[in-house]
Structure 1
């Protein structure tokens, strides 16, 4: 098992944002995390990535207890995370943004090769010299994914990656994720249910800070509990 959590919980000023989550992610899987706004998904991922300290519980990465490790140490172990809100360096060029990420895994002349490779993969090769802040929002999301790929992660966590993408770009994104799954395990937090159902091998549904259901796309579609809590409202319900 590449990633596991046991009893993972977080309280904010008495509010239980996440409560007792047990979660397992095998190597090589595309796993989606879905649920209505306020379900606790982003808080859970924040604890997995080391950006939020848990109130209780443990996080295990490839069998190692990383609960107390800071985010940068988890990145060195092979975990990469793209944010729900884009976090590119606006005044740096697209290539410079990717270079900052690539230097964690590549050295010297390798960095330029990595830049060219990952920008080609996400469909931004012609934006290489453009300032990141001048990109359309959807292209900033793709740049952030490129920065994640440049780290050559073992686990790539994508938080709302298709937000701001045009329909044609979403099709390209699906091809990209299937390709990436050959080399990395992927945890996808996503509001677009068409994307989730097409890409994910397994889906975890959260509601009120706890796991409501887990299963294959077919099992999740058929779940009455999930229909009542989430899918019954709108097929493209927003994640939170």
Structure 2
């Protein structure tokens, strides 16, 4: 059974159709990449899945339960975690406390310290645990946000352009992290870096003008003529 399932999911903003009739199935343990041109509706789709944007119509199921009307915090408690395209860390707090605040949503109190340290070590920020978050580089703030997602022990981890602002070595570390998480955590990855997509995703979904254009393995997507025309043909790797 799919961990996440949408049927006919749509969002209209007045006369603007942002997402229209999206059917989407995400299997447990899968790494799925969501790609598409600028304005394709990726962030709107993910906003509906995470409970931050109400759909105009359609349904969302998580682990067999319809959650279409659930608020975002209830989805977090059910096992969803969403990291934003723009960093949402607390700059005036230490790295440790940023992750601890996220941990308290899902982790028993007696396990918070160990969970925080483990999450930061996993993203390569263990040595910066007492540093003020606002003093981190932008790339390290993105990694901190991923740690804040991981510490919640999510069943579904949604990452919105996580490699944006990362140095080459940090991108390599991120790819290794996704490979390590694969299978144990279901991941939905909105990503502009096509090399990352092709290396880490089990399957790829392509949005275009708010509709699902294609879904398949990375190799199938790379060879798809419609996808090439809409997104990949000009070598454009922007999401």
State the shift of 1:126 in Å. 1.2
Work out the CA distance in 2 between the residues paired with 1:94 and 1:15. Answer: 40
**Deviation for aligned residue 1:13:** 1.9
TM-score by length of 1: 0.97
- 2:128 is aligned to 127
* Structure-2 residue corresponding to 1:67: 68
Distance 1:45 1:71 in 2: 12
* CA distance, structure 2, for counterparts of residue 181 and residue 58 of structure 1: 27
Partner of 1:140: 141
How far apart, CA to CA, are the structure 1 residues paired with 2:164 and 2:65?
33
- Per-residue deviation at 1:85? 0.6
| 1:107-149 alpha-carbon deviations (Å, 9 max, x no partner) | 3331110111011000001111111111111000000000000
Aligned with 1:219: secondary structure?
Answer: helix
Offset of 1:235 from its aligned partner? Answer: 4.4
- The aligned residue for residue 30 of structure 1 is 31
Structure 1 CA distance, aligned partners of 2:215 and 2:185? Answer: 21
User: How far, CA to CA, are the matches of 2:184 and 2:9 in structure 1?
Assistant: 27
**Which residue matches 2:228?**
227
- 1:105 CA drift (Å): 2.1
Q: Give how far 1:233 is off.
A: 2.0
Q: Which moved more, 1:125-134 or 1:160-169?
A: 125-134
User: Is contact 2:61–2:67 with CA below 8 Å preserved after alignment?
Assistant: yes
5+ long unaligned stretches in structure 1 = none
Shift of 1:234: 2.1
The corresponding residue for 1:78 is 79
- In 1: Cα distance, 2:123 partner to 2:9 partner: 33
Report the TM-score when normalising by structure 2: 0.98
2:14 matched to which residue of 1? 13
Correspondence for 1:201:
202
Which consecutive aligned stretches of 4+ in structure 1 deviate over 6 angstroms post-superposition?
Answer: none
Q: Which residue of 2 aligns with 1:172?
A: 173
Describe the superposition over 1:64-122 as per-residue Cα deviations: whole angstroms up to 9, x where unpaired.
Answer: 00000000000010000000111111111100000001112223331110111011000
Across the aligned residues of Structure 1 and Structure 2, the Cα RMSD in angstroms comes to: 0.8
